[in-house]
Structure 1
Amino acid sequence: MIDALTLAVGVTALALAAWCGFAFSRDQSTKDWHFIGMAVVSVLAVAQLVVGVVRLAGGDKPGQGTAIFLAYLIGSAAAVPAAGFMSLAERTRWGSATVAAGGVILAVLEVRLYDIWGG
């Protein structure tokens, strides 16, 4: 994997989590700006998915198995969009909390992806 991309996804996910956590603390729901932030994080996660699949197709092998690597890779690409859709259903401060949790989950998944790849 590309370590810089993994780091970028993790850092932006934590920044999104902090931003939405701040909105939660101010009793605000997710706004359009939050969805733009979610889109940025999601684009990075999808780029990581594409890079991971290309590296696998090129013959590189993760240290702990291809199936588990693909499962974490797909899960990391889906974490923030799933939280975003759930926040649309809950248009209160708890929608912001859901996105904040999704950002933290994505950051943890990034650490695990790094470990699985052999970092």
Structure 2
Amino acid sequence: MIEWFTIVQVSVAVAAGLLCVVLGLAGRKPSDLTMGAAALVEVLLIAQLVIAIASPAFGNEPTGSLLEFYIYLVSAVLLPVAGGFWALIERSRWSTVVLGAVCLAVAVMVYRMNVIWFVQGA
């Protein structure tokens, strides 16, 4: 895991989450903007997955539980996909809010993954 990439990822997820929640509460249905924001969060999570797989080979070992880290990571990767699927099926303002909640949940999960990787002792 790379610390600066984690900061970027949390920032993007929070921005996307707030955007989707505000637009959803304003009555907007899912659009290219909200789905694109969730897709960007997903792309960053896929990049994080690749980084997490490669990091131990380059000497960047986690200090916490690797199993717990990967459970968080796989769950976080699945969340935007599930939220986007819901938004495409139920085209209402509340599915836009759900997309925002998903992005905010991903931000919290990525922060927790950072704690597991860098701070938490095994």
The answer to whether the superposition gives a TM-score over 0.5 is yes
Tell me the distance in 2 between the aligned counterparts of 1:52 and 1:93: 35
After superposition, where does 1:68-87 map in structure 2 within 5 Å?
68-87=68-87
Sequence identity percentage: 29
CA deviation map 1:38-77 (0-9, x unaligned): 2211111110110001113445432221111111121222
AA at the equivalent of 1:65: S
Rounded to whole Å, the distance in 2 between the matches of 1:103 and 1:40 is 10
CA distance in 1, matches of 2:94, 2:109: 22
Aligned partners of 2:73, 2:57: CA distance in 1, in Å? 14
2:116 paired with 1:116: yes
Unpaired runs of at least 5, structure 2 = none
Q: How many residue pairs end up in the alignment? A: 119
Shift of residue 22, structure 1, vs aligned partner: 1.3
Question: TM-score scaled by structure 2?
Answer: 0.89
Q: Report the TM-score when normalising by structure 1.
A: 0.91
1:7 aligns with 2:7: yes
Q: Which moved more, 1:4-13 or 1:72-81?
A: 72-81
Please give the root-mean-square deviation of Cα atoms over the aligned residues, in Å. 1.4
Alpha-carbon distance, 1:78 to partner = 2.0
Secondary structure (helix, strand or coil) at the match of 2:56 reads helix
Q: Does 1:29 align with 2:23?
A: no
Q: By how many angstroms is 1:24 displaced?
A: 1.3
